[in-house]
Amino acid sequence: MTDTFLAKLQDWLKLGVHVVTPNKKANSGDLTRFELTKQAALDGNAFWLYEGTIGAGLPIVSTLRTLRASGDTIRVVQGIFSGTMSFLFNVWDPTKPFSDVVFQAKQAGYTEPDPRDDLNGLDVARKVVIAAREAGLDLSLHDVDVASLVPAELEDCSVEEYLTRLPEFDSVIARQAMEADAEGKVLRFVGKVDVVAKTGTVELAKFPKDHPFATLQGADNIVEIQSMRYSAEMESTPLIIRGPGAGAQVTAGGVFGDVCKLGVMLGARVPL
């Protein structure tokens, strides 16, 4: 279905068909294809809206666009972009095996059927690419430095073997957590766009226990935007967007919000 959508997207836009979608592949894939898709929308006088690609219904894409349109310069966008990874590190007690919380998340339906699809960081990397492009940085997926949490020895085995052997590697992440705790910090799986340095990263990073990233609950997402306007030199803190970043209701809300925006753009009387 995704391949069909990608194959048809440019044609639809060229024909003037407006598209609202939470599909991440079109705007995180090949950079040339992304630029051609944007041009197709211009040629067809069509709108391509995708707020739901980052943070479900959270206003992340629209905020980045509004900041740039209003004359701000974005410097850094970083955040916990995955509800699954947020849940894992918010719930995990580092005195207990990390594999236990992975099993718990899988049983509760928070992870993909193969948890490696979450733990390898690819989903977060796609969102990093989308955020980078909305922030004005031409980044591709292969440009993002991803620190996967899947042990190299378990990358290509079956799901069953992965789940069976995962406890063998608990000591690695436990050691990282202990080192962070000794510094008064916690571990969080974070995606980051540094527009100034022109880099994108996905990694397990350390944050002070009073940092907004350290105080999340459940599967919430959080994004911090540092810009010319939201900076110490302007006597301002970074801009923070926080809330549920996964789930049917909030994702549907993000998509329907774009439909409402589209109605306003087309002159319809849609209450906001």
Q: Is 23 contained in some domain?
A: no
Q: How many C-beta neighbours within 10 Å does residue 34 have?
A: 18
Residue 96 CA to residue 74 CA, distance in Å, equals 39
- For residue 157, name the pLDDT band (cuts at 50, 70, 90): very high
pLDDT tens sequence across 81-100: 999 999 999 999 999 999 99
pLDDT tens sequence across 56-85: 989 999 999 999 999 999 999 999 999 999
Q: Is 27 contained in some domain?
A: no
* Total number of domains constituting the chain: 1
E strands, 42-197, in order? 48-49, 74-80, 144-146, 185-194
Backbone φ and ψ of 111, nearest 5°:
-100, 170
- On the question of pLDDT at 164 being above 80, the answer is yes
Q: Is 11 contained in some domain?
A: no
pLDDT tens sequence across 16-37: 999 999 999 999 999 999 999 9
pLDDT tens sequence across 106-130: 998 889 999 999 999 999 999 999 9
Report the percent of the chain where pLDDT is more than 70. Answer: 98
Q: Is 127 a catalytic residue?
A: yes
Q: Is 150 contained in some domain?
A: yes
Contacts of 100-106 with C-beta under 8 Å, sequence gap 24+, read 102/166, 103/163, 106/163
Residue 251 CA to residue 52 CA, distance in Å, equals 6
Find, among 175, 55, 171, 158, the residue nearest to 116 by Cα.
158
For range 232-258, the mean pLDDT: 92
Mean pLDDT in the chain?
Answer: 94
Residue 248 confidence (pLDDT): 85
Quick one: tokens of 245? 């970043």
For range 5-21, the mean pLDDT: 95
- On the question of pLDDT at 227 being above 80, the answer is yes
- On the question of pLDDT at 270 being above 70, the answer is no
Range of the structural domain that residue 76 is part of? 59-245
Q: Is 53 contained in some domain?
A: no
Residue 267 CA to residue 262 CA, distance in Å, equals 9
Q: Is 30 contained in some domain?
A: no
Report the percent of the chain where pLDDT is more than 90. Answer: 88
Tokens 């236990």, residue located: 100
Q: Which amino acid is at 226?
A: Q
Residue 109 confidence (pLDDT): 87
Q: Is 142 contained in some domain?
A: yes
Q: Which amino acid is at 32?
A: T
Residue 109 CA to residue 31 CA, distance in Å, equals 33
CB 54 within 8 Å of CB 21: no
For range 163-168, the mean pLDDT: 97
Q: Is 74 contained in some domain?
A: yes
Please pick, among 24, 106, 127, 206, the residue that the annotation labels catalytic: 127
- On the question of pLDDT at 150 being above 70, the answer is yes
- At 140, is the secondary structure helix, strand, or coil? coil
Residue 272 confidence (pLDDT): 47
Q: Give the up-direction half-sphere exposure of residue 148: CA atoms within 13 A in the CB hemisphere.
A: 13
Residue 246 confidence (pLDDT): 82
Check which CATH number belongs to the domain holding 182 and give it: 3.30.360.10
For range 158-184, the mean pLDDT: 97
Quick one: tokens of 158? 């079956």
